[in-house]
């Protein structure tokens, strides 16, 4: 799987972060030359995830203020020389535990580390007291971050959504081809299917990096959320279908003649399914789709009829042969796949 489609987004984030730091450094130099709180706050707040940057900025701003006040007040109230080390140990232990426990939960990854950073600063940098200057610096840093988030390469979650989904669709299409080749027991089909499967697995196993996970976060733009949520759920269901088909494709058929008779209509169905996927890619790229030359389910109806006429048993007696059941299941999955793709295509048109 290539990540070249992601190059633009990291560059934009890097420019935005650097600009925020530049503004913070300049303002800090002229108004608060002796302190670093504005710059530190800006550096910590610019690292928000895609989807809800303003909400995350506010949340972290509140965290920073609370931690700053809590830590500095504790040191004032308990000036004992053991207070600072005790606080450090407590903060470290809790943060490390929280970090490891929630490290997979979206957005909460940074909070423990952020908490640790703020507390360490207050504990180690001497002569910090509850001073309105420091609070003003933190607020200024937040304002700079919000300004940069809104005006310097602002996030385009709709574009980023398309980019990430676009990278997955060709992998799904290739995986489908490989599964049909595996079902028809073509040469090297198994290795090919495993390779294509690995590409799809990589995306889902590293969802945070390759998939638009921000769609599920509360506070995300409601105008975009409904459509993107629907899309993501159906892409997930398409992936589930393909994984389920893998198990069926591995089955050793006792009647290879059965496969041969179904080979042509099966391939035709898969070709039409891939056409739909290609159309989906075009729609996501905002290009005109290729006009479809077939009725949406006609080829599948033909496949089902061919299967029924070849097998020649009713549904109730299908389980007299494992081969019949597995083929019926595979064809049914092709139908499910087609219905999912049709639903997505109609959403985007």
Partner 1 sequence: MLRTTARFLKLTPPIELLSLYHALVTLVITAIAFAVFFIFPSPNNYWLMLASILLSQVGLRNEQDSLKFWPVFYYLLSGFISAALVFLLTLTADSFWLSTVVLLITTFITSYKGWLNRKFFLAGCVINFLSIIAAFAPADFTVAAQRFYLIMLASCLVFSVRLLFFLYQRHYQFYYAKINFLQKMKQLYGLIFYNPSQPASLFTRDIDESHFQSTWSDCLSLLQTLKKKAPPAWMHQMERIWDITLSLASLRYRLTDASVLSIVQEEWKQLLTSITDLFNQLMKATKSINLQPLNIAIQRLEELNQGILQTMTKEPLVLLLFIQDLHALKEQLKNISPPFSRKGEA
Q: Which of residues 205-224 bind partner 1 (CB under 8 A)?
A: 205-209, 216
| Nearest distance in Å: CB 17, partner 1 | 4
CA dihedral 141, 146, 150, 152 (to 10 degrees): 20
Among 1, 63, 65, 201, binds partner 1 (CB under 8 A): 201
Q: Residue 243 and residue 53: Cα distance in Å, rounded?
A: 34
Nearest residue (CB) to partner 1, 35 versus 282? 35
| Nearest distance in Å: CB 10, partner 1 | 4
Q: Which stretch binds partner 1 (CB under 8 A): 29-37, 55-63, 252-260, 267-275?
A: 29-37
Residues in the chain, overall count: 349
Q: Residue 40 and residue 37: Cα distance in Å, rounded?
A: 5
Q: Is 95 in the site for partner 1 (CB under 8 A)?
A: yes
Q: Is 290 in the site for partner 1 (CB under 8 A)?
A: no
Instruction: Assign 3-class secondary structure to 196-249.
Output: HHHHHHHHHHCHHHHCCHHHHCCCCCHHHHHHHHHHHHHHHHHHHHHHHHHHHH
Among 1, 36, 284, 323, binds partner 1 (CB under 8 A): 36
| Nearest distance in Å: CB 260, partner 1 | 23
Here's the x/- map for partner 1, 96-135, by CB under 8 A: it reads as xx-xxx-xx-----x-xx--xx--xx--xx----------
Q: Is 58 in the site for partner 1 (CB under 8 A)?
A: no
Distances (CA, A) of 278 to 204, 241, 288, 290: 21, 18, 11, 9
Start-end of H helices in the chain = 8-31, 37-45, 53-77, 83-101, 110-124, 132-151, 157-183, 189-205, 207-210, 222-249, 256-284, 298-311, 322-348
| Region for 105 from its dihedrals, namely left if φ exceeds 0, alpha if ψ lies in -120 to 50, beta otherwise | beta
Nearest residue (CB) to partner 1, 253 versus 282? 253
Q: Which of residues 225-284 bind partner 1 (CB under 8 A)?
A: 229, 232-233, 236-237, 240-241, 243-244, 246-248, 250
Q: Which of residues 294-323 bind partner 1 (CB under 8 A)?
A: 315-316, 318-319
Among 5, 9, 199, 308, binds partner 1 (CB under 8 A): 9
CA dihedral 203, 209, 215, 217 (to 10 degrees): 130
Nearest residue (CB) to partner 1, 34 versus 257? 34
Interface with partner 1 (CB under 8 A), residue total 80
């Amino acid at each position: 799987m290539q990540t070249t489609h992601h190059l633009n987004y990291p560059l934009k984030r890097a420019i935005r972060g650097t600009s925020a730091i530049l503004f913070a450094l300049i303002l800090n130099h002229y108004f608060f030359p002796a302190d670093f709180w504005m710059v530190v706050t800006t550096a910590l707040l610019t690292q928000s995830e895609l989807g809800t940057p303003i909400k995350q900025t506010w949340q972290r701003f509140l965290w920073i203020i609370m931690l700053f006040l809590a830590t500095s007040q504790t040191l004032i109230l308990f000036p004992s020389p053991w207070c600072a080390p005790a606080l450090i140990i407590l903060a470290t232990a809790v943060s490390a535990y929280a970090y490891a426990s929630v490290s997979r939960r979206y957005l909460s990854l940074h909070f423990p580390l952020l908490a640790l950073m703020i507390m360490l600063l207050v504990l180690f940098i001497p002569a910090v007291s509850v001073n309105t200057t420091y609070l003003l610096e933190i607020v200024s840093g937040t304002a700079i971050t919000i300004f940069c988030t809104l005006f310097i390469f602002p996030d385009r979650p709709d574009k980023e959504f398309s980019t990430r989904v676009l990278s997955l669709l060709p992998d799904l299409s290739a995986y489908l081809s490989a599964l049909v080749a595996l079902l028809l027991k073509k040469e090297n089909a198994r290795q090919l299917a495993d390779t294509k499967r690995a590409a799809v697995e990589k995306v889902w196993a590293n969802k945070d990096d390759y998939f638009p996970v921000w769609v599920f976060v509360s506070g995300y733009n409601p105008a975009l959320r409904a459509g993107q949520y629907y899309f993501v759920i159906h892409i997930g269901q398409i992936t589930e279908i393909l994984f389920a088909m893998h198990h069926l494709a591995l089955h050793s058929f006792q009647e290879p003649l059965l496969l041969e008779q179904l080979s042509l209509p099966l391939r035709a169905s898969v070709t039409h399914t891939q056409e739909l996927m290609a159309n989906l890619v075009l729609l996501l790229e905002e290009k005109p789709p290729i006009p479809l030359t077939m009725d949406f389910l006609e080829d599948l109806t033909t496949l089902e009829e061919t299967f029924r006429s070849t097998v020649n048993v009713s549904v109730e007696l299908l389980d007299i042969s494992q081969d019949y059941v597995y083929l019926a299941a595979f064809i049914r999955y092709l139908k499910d796949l087609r219905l999912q793709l049709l639903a997505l295509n109609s959403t985007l048109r």
